[in-house]
Amino acid sequence: MKLYELVGKDKTQGFSPYVWRIRMALAHKGLDVEMVPLIFTEIAKLEACQAKTVPILEHDGAYITDSWDIACYLEDKFPGHPSLFGGDAGKAYANFFNFTSFYNLIIPLFQTLVFDIFEGLDDKDRDYFRSSREARLGKSLEEAHQNQDQNLRLFQKQLWPYNTTLKTQDFLGGTHPTYVDYILYGLFQWAKGVSALSLLQETDPLYDWRTRMDELHDGLGKVITVKS
């Protein structure tokens, strides 16, 4: 089993939030995986799967793309292993969170981190990233960076439901982590891998939750170090 991940100059530090969801999901299932690092411009060269983004899971000769499809594949393919969703209701909620988190969390965090991401890219990726992301943003990366503090505050403001929830339970999934926790955790791994920005205050319930997430699966999340 192989999982293709996104890297920059440092080929040991995979920073895709979507890949991190699946890295944690695989560990949750107790499955071993070989990590395959790719830079942005190498992804399209994988002719076997014709994917444009990661994660890509290669298993038994098949390629599964899109993090949600991979999570569902793992749940269905390995039913005897710990469940990612905790039943149909949990799966439905995870699907809902998968969509809502894109607009509420990923977009403002992307706008916060975009210039920092660019700074850490392999030189071969820089032209592609600049042209594609500036088209998406409608402004230059440098102009986006000027609004970094504003976008960070917007992201932090959107965290209130999760901080409130975690005042009374250890994980978003309850007493144990579920795929919803891995979706959210992937965002913090993304930021940690590309930026020195601090997203949380030590008084935030999410701060302690992130520490608990870091310790899961033999400290898997600690393999990515804080960007300096």
* pLDDT profile of the chain (228 residues), mean per 10: 97 96 98 97 90 96 96 98 98 97 97 98 98 97 97 98 98 98 98 96 98 98 81
Whose tokens are 């932090």? That residue is 156
Do 190 and 183 contact (CB within 8 A), yes or no?
no
Do 163 and 169 contact (CB within 8 A), yes or no?
no
The pLDDT score that the predictor gives to residue 228 is: 62
Domains along the chain with CATH numbers: 2-77 (3.40.30.10), 88-220 (1.20.1050.10)
The pLDDT score that the predictor gives to residue 66 is: 95
Rounded Cα gap, residues 143 and 137, in angstroms? 10
Question: Which residues are within 8 A (CB) of 98 and not within 5 positions of it... i.e. 6 or more apart?
Answer: 68, 183
**37 class by beta-carbon count within 10 Å (0-12 exposed, 13-18 middle, 19+ buried):** middle
Rounded Cα gap, residues 126 and 143, in angstroms? 17
Rounded Cα gap, residues 217 and 158, in angstroms? 28
Q: Which helix (H) or strand (E) holds 58?
A: strand 56-59
CA atoms within 13 A on the CB side of 132: 9
Which amino acid, 14?
G
Rounded Cα gap, residues 142 and 145, in angstroms? 5
Which amino acid, 151?
N
The pLDDT score that the predictor gives to residue 227 is: 65
| pTM for the model | 0.97
Whose tokens are 């993090």? That residue is 67
Question: Which residues are within 8 A (CB) of 176 and not within 5 positions of it... i.e. 6 or more apart?
Answer: 170
